[in-house]
Amino acid sequence: MFKKLDKMLERYEKLNVLVGDADVISRMDEWKAYTKELAEITETVEKYTEYKKVLSEQEEVKELLTVETDVEMKAMMKEELEVCKDKLQAISDELRILLLPKDPDDDKNVIMEIRGGAGGDEANLFAYELYKLYIKYAEKNRWKTEDIDISVTELGGLKEGIFSISGKDVYSKLKFESGVHRVQRVPETESQGRVHTSTCTVAVLPEATDVEIKIDEKDLKVDTLRSSGAGGQHVNKTESCIRLTHLPTGIVVLCQDERSQTKNREKAMKVLKSRLYDFYQSQADKEYSDNRRSQVGTGDRSERIRTYNFPQGRVTDHRIGLTLYSLDNFMLGDIDEMVEGLRIADRELKLTQGFDEE
């Protein structure tokens, strides 16, 4: 770990020179890259500098202790050594966390996709409640949301909901929501009061940029269709619905939320790029894919991750064994405790894998 830190400190000092160099400043793109890299390592370097300072203090006390003859002074020095030892351990723990590999997607906006699964109408009704849960959570965090394609059933359920959330650290907080969400409750249509079990699927995709994903027009099949379902007078009268098919991968995106064909195409392209980014990331990192089931938040999307039990008022995340008895508030977007629990578990899992001590 400390060899890595020494290299980082050396790089930090070099970057400080580069960002102040007039020739580098004249090359704005290069200068921006250096300042970004500098910002990313500054906190770690400052913490390492603090560690080295405490370590130096500890060494000084050890040297003085070898020549000190006064009993009381020696006792005080030994106490100071213990304080230094505790500080070094605490700072070392913080450094291990700071050195954990950062997910490059953590600061990205997301595309969320929610679909009703097993359970028919009840699954779709719960899918709509999940959609509202994430919208409320976004509002609490002052994030911006935008519907991309919302398909509502006659009973008010959500057959499929695709929407974007943008803001600070969105993906880092929501990436663990991908998977199968199970609900256990008595449906309003159930006359005998029996508890039914239904499921919904949630996918959280980091929003891809034009730089990351470029789509060749010849690889696209574009169909214009008449919109269907709820949506106003334009439904079934104008061909505003857009369906994009990416021929190399077979990925299909349909968007009919807007009256404008142009706007629907823009939204569909945003979803397609995010799906392609997710697809290519999985293809490029086979080892990561093979280990997904054993890692927090990276399980297959067919994996059941959470159960919402309404009769008992509890919600349980099966990956980390966390149960909260505040389901009503949870459904109102108060999910911070669960989100933080998942983030901590993910961090601890990575810490147990340790560092390659060189």
End-of-domain residue from the set 98, 128, 148:
98
343 and 314 co-located in one domain:
yes
105: in domain: no
pLDDT at 237 over 60: no
Confirm whether 290 is domain-assigned.
no
Residue 358 has pLDDT above 60, yes or no: no
Range scoring the smallest mean pLDDT among 107-111, 142-146, 280-284: 280-284
Question: Which is more confident, 283 or 67?
Answer: 67
Give φ, ψ of 322 to 5 degrees: -95, 125
93 and 129 in one domain?
A: no
- The reply to whether 357 falls in a domain is no
Identify which of 209, 274, 217 has the alpha carbon closest to the alpha carbon of residue 245. Answer: 217
183-215 tens-digit pLDDT = 999 987 676 778 899 999 999 999 887 667 888
CATH number at residue 241: 3.30.160.20
In this structure, the answer to whether residues 201 and 221 fall within a common structural domain is no
- 168 assigned to some structural domain: yes
Residue 284's pLDDT is: 61
Domain total of the chain? 3
Is 105 in contact with 175 (CB distance < 8 Å)?
yes
Does one domain contain both 318 and 174?
A: yes
- Distance (Å, rounded) from C-alpha 242 to C-alpha 258? 10
Q: Which domain holds residue 261?
A: 217-283
Residue 295 falls inside a structural domain: no
Q: Which of 67, 98, 129 is the last residue of a domain?
A: 98
Say which DSSP state 124 is in.
H
Co-location of 170 and 272 in the same domain:
no
- Does residue 130 sit in the same domain as residue 21? no
pLDDT at position 288: 47
Lowest-confidence range among 244-248, 338-342, 351-355?
351-355
Characterize 95-113 residue by residue with b for buried, 16 or more Cβ atoms within 10 angstroms of its Cβ, and e for exposed. Answer: beebbeeeeebeebbbbbb
pLDDT tens digits along 120-140:
889 999 999 999 999 999 999
In the predicted model, what is the mean pLDDT of the chain?
85
| Cα–Cα distance, 331 to 329 (Å, whole number) | 5
197 and 221 share one domain: no
Same domain, 137 and 221: no
Query: Using one digit for the tens of pLDDT, what is the confidence trace for 25-55?
Result: 999 989 999 998 898 899 999 999 999 999 9
pLDDT in tens, 170-189: 999 999 999 999 999 998 76
The verdict on residue 21 lying in a domain is yes
Tokens 């070392």: give the residue: 92
- All residues at 6 or more sequence positions from 256 whose CB lies less than 8 Å from its CB, including other chains: 149, 225, 227, 228, 229, 231, 240, 241, 242, 264
pTM for this prediction: 0.70
